[in-house]
Amino acid sequence: MYEIREHKTEIRENYLAKRRELTAEKKTELEDKLCRVILSSATYRYADTILMYYAKEDEVDINRIAWEAVAAGKKVAFPRTNPEDRSMVFHFVIGEDDFEVGPFGICEPKAELPSFEVTGELQRNVICIIPAVVYDKKGFRIGYGGGYYDRYLSTFKGTKVGVEYSEFIIPEVPHGRFDLAVDVLITEKGIYPKKS
Q: What is the CATH number of the domain that holds 116?
A: 3.40.50.10420
Q: What is the mean pLDDT of residues 111-126?
A: 79
Look at 119 and 25; give whichever has higher pLDDT: 25
The answer to whether 90 and 84 have CB atoms below 8 angstroms apart is no
Task: Band the pLDDT of 147: cuts 50, 70, 90.
Answer: confident
**pLDDT at residue 2 is higher than 60:** no
Q: Is residue 185 part of a domain?
A: yes
CA distance 183 to 156: 12
Task: Band the pLDDT of 130: cuts 50, 70, 90.
Answer: very high
Total domains, the chain: 1
Residues sharing a CB contact under 8 Å with residue 54, sequence separation 6 or more, in sequence order: 63, 78, 99, 106, 107, 108
Q: What is the mean pLDDT of residues 113-139?
A: 86
CA distance 22 to 105: 22
pLDDT in the model for residue 7: 86
pLDDT in the model for residue 196: 61
Q: Is residue 145 part of a domain?
A: yes
Q: Is residue 9 part of a domain?
A: yes
**pLDDT at residue 40 is higher than 90:** yes
pLDDT digits (tens, 9 = 90+) for 91-111: 999 999 999 999 888 899 999
∠ CA 107-188-72 to the nearest 5 degrees?
A: 60
Domain that holds residue 20: 2-191
Q: Is residue 158 part of a domain?
A: yes
Q: Is residue 154 part of a domain?
A: yes
Q: What is the mean pLDDT of residues 34-48?
A: 96
pLDDT in the model for residue 107: 94
For 97-126, letters b (16+ CB in 10 Å) and e give ebbeebeeebbbbeeebeebebeeeebeeb
Q: Is residue 49 part of a domain?
A: yes
Q: Is residue 196 part of a domain?
A: no
pLDDT digits (tens, 9 = 90+) for 153-194: 988 889 999 999 999 999 999 887 778 899 999 999 999 877
Q: Is residue 110 part of a domain?
A: yes
What does pTM read for this prediction? 0.91
pLDDT in the model for residue 121: 54
Look at 27 and 177; give whichever has higher pLDDT: 27
The answer to whether 15 and 168 have CB atoms below 8 angstroms apart is yes
